[in-house]
Copies of this chain bind each other. A is one copy, B any other.
Amino acid sequence: MTSKLSKTTKRARAKLSRSAILDAALAIVRQDGLDALTMRRVASDLEAGPMSLYRHVKDRDDLLLGMMDHVATCIPLPKQQSDDREEIVEIILTIHTAFRSDPWLVHVLLFEGRGSLNVLPLFERLYAAMGRLGCGPAKSIDYYSMLLHYAYGESLSFQTRDKRREIQTEWAEDAFEAYPATSKVMEVAWSWKYDEFERNLRRLVATI
C-alpha cells in the first residue's frame, strides 16, 4: 500500500511540467471552450492542487501565451504561390483555418492582446508578397489590417452563430412584418451557412 502510494505520488510529480500543463489546457479549451479553461480545472485534470501550476506558469495570461506559441508552431505553411495575390490568399486562408480549428485564438489575440512570434515566417511571406505588388509599409499595413479584421469578424461570427440563432428563434414571428425587404432576406438567413470567407477574401485581395 505504501509502495502504491509512493508510485502515484511519483506519477503526479512527473505529470506536472510546463508542457503537460499546456497539453491539458489545450485539451480543455478544445473540448469545452475558453470559458471552461480555469486554473482550477487544469489542475484538477492533472490531479494536482490549483497552486501547483504557478510553479511552471506565471499566471493565466502566461498559460494562454504558451498555448498560442505551441499552436502557432503547428500551423502548416502553405506552398509558395507564383502569383502574389494567390500567395496572399493562401496565407490568410491558413490563418483563417487556424481560427476555425482553434476559435479561442481570436479571443486571446484580440482581448488578451497576446500574439505568438512563431507566426512571423507566415507574416514575412505576406508582407513580401505585398511588397512585390508595389505596396509600401503604409499600404501593406492597411491591406493587412483589412484582411485580418475581416478574418477576425468572420471567425467570431461563425463560432457564435449557432448560439445566436438559438436565441433569435425566441423572437416573435411577426417582428419583421413591417419590414418587407428584411423579411425576404430573413427567410433565407435562418438556414444560411454564409461560409463565404474564401470567396469574399478573393474579392478583397483583388482590390489590392
> Which A positions have Cβ atoms within 8 angstroms of B?
110-111, 113-115, 117, 120-121, 123-124, 127-128, 130-131, 137-138, 140-142, 144-146, 148-154, 156-157, 160, 163-164, 166-168, 171, 175-176, 178-182, 184-185, 187-189, 192, 194, 196, 200, 203-204, 206-207
Contacts and interface: CB of A to CB of B under 8 A. Distances in A.
Contact residues of A: prevailing secondary structure: helix
Q: Which 10 residue pairs spanning A and B have beta carbons closest together?
A: A153-B153, A152-B153, A149-B153, A127-B181, A113-B164, A137-B188, A124-B179, A128-B181, A149-B154, A113-B167
A190 to B, nearest CB: 10
A120 B163 contact: no
A186 B151 CA distance: 20
Given A142-B196, A152-B156, A153-B156, A176 B110 contact: no
Q: How many copies of the polypeptide does the oligomer hold?
A: 2
A128 B142 CA distance: 31
A93 to B, nearest CB: 16
A123 B153 contact: no
A140 B123 CA distance: 33
Contacts of A137: 184-185, 187-189
A131 B181 contact: yes
Given A153-B152, A167-B114, A141 B189 contact: yes
A108 to B, nearest CB: 11
Nearest to A188: B137
B111 A194 contact: no
A183 to B, nearest CB: 9
A120 B189 contact: no
